[in-house]
Copies of this chain bind each other. A is one copy, B any other.
Amino acid sequence: MKVVTTIEALTTEIQTAKQKQQTIGLVPTMGYLHEGHLTLAQAARAENDVVVMSIFVNPTQFGPHEDFASYPRDLPRDTALAESVGVDIVFAPSVEEMYPQDGGIRIAAGKQATILCGASRPGHFDGVLQVVAKLFHLTQPTRAYFGQKDAQQVAIIATMVRDFNFPIEMRVIPIVREEDGLAKSSRNVYLSESERQEAPAIYEALQLARDHFLATGDAASALIEAKSHIQARTQGSIDYIELLAYPDLTPITAATEQVLVAAAVYIGKTRLIDNCIFTVKEGL
């Protein structure tokens, strides 16, 4: 495995791969790798000749009062983990390498970025699109791997790929769950024993909403059922739970083919997110 920190060195590796007609799988990360990242890398490993993992804490997706400076970083540990799952190239540039100058051009996420988790993070998804577009151009991947856990991020990137014709296949890797259905998250360790027992109700509620919507086509009553389930089974408070057309994140219409049902719920002080994406025609 090679660790490269400059665009020039990365470009040499990419050009070599392209000359050999090799497929390239890109796994973009901000480092401090956990099981979710490794699952993405394993999927990339299975499907591509060359696997590139980027490790870059991108300043432009942090708000002025967010935790860019204190975001955890551990490159030696990350490179060891990346090597253990078969990554070929780790691209770990500095901020100066990625943003040596600024001509002022921005990619502006639209209405998709103003709802769900985006409502409380203005500008966040603009920064995500900026760094993802740069990484796509730098690595020219055949396929790029993202976790479905961050469904809104995935939807917005998928929209950029679609509407700007990036020659890339987006691969969305399903959420890894505990045996009782709770989505795996590094935040789950913050849950008390009783909170941990309540937490699977979030995924149960998403499934109820999905099944109700597929049976009736009624998004409003599907949401009521899901909310009731969370309120009955947990002490938590719901930040949001929504059914939206995927990937546009617009209200569901008769033409909607794919649906995202997504929730953010405070279980005690811990904010947990979960979602599922389903095809409308699948269940009808």
CA of A156 to CA of B156, assembled, Å: 25
A64 at the interface (CB under 8 A from B): no
- If the complex has contacts A108-B108, A137-B167, are A162 and B103 also in contact, measured as CB distance less than 8 A? yes
Closest B residue to A107 by CB, please name it: B107
A204 to chain B: closest CB distance in Å? 31
A165 at the interface (CB under 8 A from B): yes
A274 at the interface (CB under 8 A from B): no
A122 to chain B: closest CB distance in Å? 15
A109 to chain B: which residues have CB within 8 Å? 104-105
A102 to chain B: which residues have CB within 8 Å? 163
A21 at the interface (CB under 8 A from B): yes
A112 at the interface (CB under 8 A from B): yes
Q: Looking at the complex, which one of B104, B111, B159, B165 makes contact with A110 (CB distance below 8 Å)?
A: B104
A187 at the interface (CB under 8 A from B): no
Q: Which of A7, A107, A162, A166 has most chain B Cβ within 10 Å?
A: A107
CB within 8 Å of B: which A67-88 residues: none
Interface string of A47-74 (1 = CB under 8 A from B): 0000000000000000000000000000
A164 to chain B: which residues have CB within 8 Å? 105, 130, 133-134, 137
Q: Is the CB of A111 within 8 A of B107?
A: no
A166 to chain B: which residues have CB within 8 Å? 137
Q: Is the CB of A108 within 8 A of B110?
A: no
A153 at the interface (CB under 8 A from B): no
Closest B residue to A161 by CB, please name it: B137
Interface string of A187-208 (1 = CB under 8 A from B): 0000000000000000000000
Q: Is the CB of B7 within 8 A of A159?
A: no
A101 at the interface (CB under 8 A from B): yes
CB within 8 Å of B: which A153-183 residues: 156, 159-160, 162-167
A248 at the interface (CB under 8 A from B): yes
CB within 8 Å of B: which A128-167 residues: 129-130, 133-134, 137-138, 140, 156, 159-160, 162-167
Shortest Cβ-Cβ A-B pairs, 4 listed: A104-B110, A103-B159, A137-B165, A106-B108
Question: Can you give 22 contacting A-B residue pairs, CB < 8 Å?
Answer: A7-B165, A11-B167, A101-B163, A103-B112, A103-B162, A103-B247, A104-B109, A105-B107, A105-B110, A105-B129, A105-B156, A105-B159, A105-B163, A105-B164, A106-B108, A107-B107, A107-B108, A134-B164, A134-B165, A137-B167, A138-B167, A140-B167
